[in-house]
Chain A
Amino acid sequence: MSAPEIEKSDLVTVTIDGVQVSVPKDTLVIRAAEQIGVQVPRFCDHPLLAPVGACRQCLVDVPDAGNGRGFPKPQASCTLPVADGMVVSTQVTSPVADKAQQGVMELLLINHPLDCPVCDKGGECPLQNQAMSNGRGESRFSDDRNRGVKRTFPKPINLSPTVLLDRERCIVCQRCTRFADEIAGDPFIALIERGAQQQIGIAEDAPFLSYFSGNVIQICPVGALTSEQYRFRSRPFDLVSTPGVAEHDACGSAIRVDHRRGKVLRRQAGDDPAVNEEWITDKDRFAFAYAQADDRLTYPQVRDEDGTLRPASWPEAFAVAARGLAAARDAGGVGVLTGGRVTVEDAYAYAKFARATLGTNDIDFRARPLSGEEADFLAAHVVLTGPDLGAVTYDDLESAAKVVLVGLEPEDEAGAIFLRLRKSVLAGGTEVVAVAPYTTRGLEKLSARLVPTLPGDEAAALTALGSELDAATVVLAGERLATVPGALTAAAAVAATTGARLAWVPRRAGDRGALEAGCLPTLLPGGRPVADATARVDLATAWGVGSLPEAPGRDADAILAALAAGELGGLVVGGVDPDDTADPAVTRAALGAAAFVVAFDLRRTEVTDSADVVFPVAPTSDKSGTFVNWEGRVRPWEAALRNPASLPELRALSGIAAELAALGVGAPLGFRTVEEARAEMEQIGPWDGPRATTTDNSVTTTDNSATTTDNSATTTDNSATTTDNSALRLATWKQLLDNGSMQDGDKYLKATARTPVALVSAALYDAYGPTVTLTGDRGSVTLPAEIADDLVDGAVWVPANSVGNGVLADLASPGSTVTISGAEGVHG
């Protein structure tokens, strides 16, 4: 996507320090100066925040404002837009500007404490740097003659469990309060007091709880804002900062992984204007300690005849795995569940391993509730699309007149999308419409128009919206729609008839890449349909194998059901949590019943505990890899840490494939490293033949026997505000911060999670609150209740993984209903 050509007439010519430069109209002088290599010192200015002109550090002399007259006094270059013919003299050529800047710098330093030796920011501090470049060497305030007294504050204070404030260091640039208010929409920090006592503060008992709070630490130009997680832990000059990609969602946010001597010490946002600009969620920023947890797997394990799992060497593990898989294959077959956190390269390895080595199409990356309709939808509408081919991008969200969210709560599930949508809404010109059960905090911050929809009714709601959608609309469909029969089909249909553009937003970083790499029972790598003989031949040729299995495979639910029933013998499983799957009980039964299980994981889990062979896998910091984000944008990174024992999955798969080939089963993988995998994928290339078309899924799903999708118990009659004990539709999704295992290890981050509550209507709260018990087909959960004012009648919302083992394990099957009753107060 290229930016619109800038017309010559949109350019304005100014002279800065004698150098002429032409810039677009409305460019600020400080930005224009940067274009010719002049760095005017600044603190409150930030390219992504509205200018305020508060710090006065960026003062420049303007001898000609473009109208022949100069400004009588120096101007703040961060608030002054260029004018044609303007003449500007910065500190480079103007003694007045230089003195003014030195004066401001001197004043900034009179109350600023000499904390550098104990301040986290030292070494990467804009105040230090600019004091050196644009300030004096000596203080006239603190010298013996003046004996100035600085104002002090007791320090530090917690603005939140994760963010600390040293008030003395603050220069009141207001970047943090402006970010919190403008960008995140969470104005829970504010300027308080007045004059030199002015400081950042929170209201009593109202900490700065925002999913994006960590960004203020990064943009603070001094060491006033620090994180509990990183405070006093390192000096920036000891750190190596490696670019990376966030692994917690499908946004593909650019991050920086800062490490020292083999250990990741902190993460920051990377600068990527096309994707996440300069912001990341707190989960992206702080949740990386999971990779250093005590239960991290560091060597392969093999189960002995006596049943104990014991350490093994890699070669032994390869051999044992190969023998077991060969036997399982003969005894009925092997299924492959990759999980959604795999890199593209590892996913490709799984996909090839399944087809070329195991000879099966029984592979699925979806470790959560799914449907055949979804697989068809992905094959027809999602795979092979990308920014270069006209897919919806972040920039498109900004230019869309309307964005419809269905099955997606962006603040919880895709933070970078949320921030971009909010940016666009605030700029005017974009309306957000949400097909959802109630207006969440995130939707409120987007000024979204709610189309109140019961879970399960999204298809009809979308279709009804059709009349107001057009080519200037973007529809974002979340992965939750997989369990709503007809919803994804309706989304595709609405897009087709109205010209609206459609994008699918999964939850996990590896989901989209796994789709592209062929981890679906109906799709081979590169989007090649299994059902298309030409495609199979094309791939087989490229792989150098005779043929590829032609029957479409089982999806994840079918694989698990078949294992539980003894129809499949073996399982190759990556990072999958049984509690995330559509039927955790069936998943566990499958693991127990399977004759042979090879597990790959980062940490010890119940899955690895039940496996026959366990292989440790490298976290994202230890390996090069690639994620594909929801846009279809390819996001590669290189390993930050070098750990010879920490290997990507593809290495182990390669080893097993080699052993299997030696046993006469299938072909070797053909690559052992990430680089080799990338090269091979590049060579294979995307499928350029006809795409799969969706079968007719508008009425019923294909048989996903593992899940009951019987919604017939509830009618769509929501006229009464139900206070009786009839069934309520269960709305649920995972909050950004919850019991997810990738958030383990950072207690400060955990303390910022939202309190789990059940959201009910006012009538239900009055009848059953303040604490309620919900009962579904899998059990009961008791939670404090809160009223959601516009919650659609007949629904209740609970967070999917904030209490116990999560909703799927403890409460209800996907798409089913629950009943409500009052409970004794359990929570505070």
Chain B
Amino acid sequence: MAEPASTAQDAERLDDALYVLHGSQGTGTIRALLYGGYLVAIFGGVYGFNLLRALLISSDPQWLRAAAASVWSLLAFGTLIIGLGLLAWRVGRVRGPLVPPLPFIDLLLGSAIDRWQVLRERAWVLLISGLGVGVLIGVLLGGAAMGAGLGSAAAVLGAVVGGAVLGVALAWLWLAGQHSLAPRGPGRAVSWPAMVRDLRLDDVRAHALRTTHIGGAVLAGDLRAARLDVAPAITRARSRRLRPGGRVSTIVRRDILGYRRAPGQAVAGVLGVGMSSALIALAVLQPAAPRILGALALIVAYLGFGALAEGVRLVADNAGTPPLLGVSFRAEAVLHLIAPAALALACALPIAALVGRAHALEAAGAPGLHPAYALGAVTVMVALLAGVTLMAAFRGTPPEMSFVPEVGPMTMAYWYGRPLAVAVSGGLLLGSLADSRGWAPVLLGAELALAVAIIAYGIRLARRLELGHRG
């Protein structure tokens, strides 16, 4: 039996193998890292800094200072950090950071060379990227605050250090998520080399295959394939049964059963909708709040509502197949909106009422809308979400222009992003209620009408997709 090679021998063997793969030019990792850093820095500097600064100077500085120092802000910041950490770990379980191409995995990672040696370069890239992105975010946030007269140089330094720590921590959690797939050994690996050595060939290979599938699916506009690749297998509440009843109640119960069997997704959806309801209520009631709050809220709400609307997407997946259910295609799509919309309202209305009450106590006598407008705004938000969810589910296949090299990426991005863009625009409109004064009832009514029109458009898209298969 061959003896395990020493570290030096491993390095030598790896160098030889890499020379065969890449020749004298090397792997190009450093060049790719530098180029990526250059792009991120340019975009961050040109767009990020100016956008953040504009956001800060367009808000009431006194309100911003008070808001930043409040317990709620600290709580929101803590929740955001924990949420990012959980997200990084979760993403690591689906697609880890250390995923070389398939031939590299089969020929090098599967060889007797120390796994840390083989993946070390990629692990360093991960660490440096985390550090770099964290520092950049710190510089942007701190710099924008200083530029808007809201912070000092010390605040910039603090933001940079905080950003760097957060970036490295998120990179580590991403790797920890990938590492968590491996069965636990006798000791708990926490160092980078130990975690990398623990990675199993099968897991890395599965992630590489998934990356290839998802990449292909996204480029081809086949979001169903991408979604199924990412979605975890459901095995919960197996013995719980779908109770038969009327058409409407059974379809609603189906969606509720889905929430019980995929509780993580349902909780994420409820949290997303809940958080965005609070933001919308704040944007509507507080004239000093930044106007962009409404747009941010709708981005979160779009993702949250989407997590609750699995049934709608499945109807779209079945477009063109012979019908199995005794309801029409469009009716089925609409029925699958009942459960997510009801759940979203059940979560959004109390939160909006709470924010409204807190605002009324805090800002008694100050100018601003009546707290009831927050309830109206989140109701419109849910209607809008129902509409854009239909738009997203029934968007069909990408336009032919998406495959023309010169304009393809832009067309594809537009095709993917249209529902989200509509949601964000709706969020901005809702946020503008705060400035509407006497026109608020008219504006709110108009926004509700717009949301209903978007639902009607979504149903029309469903019809078009259904008929498109008859061609």
Q: Do A and B come from one complex?
A: no
Instruction: Give me the interface of B with A, judged by CB distance under 8 Å.
Output: none
Please report A residues at the B interface, Cβ cutoff 8 Å: none
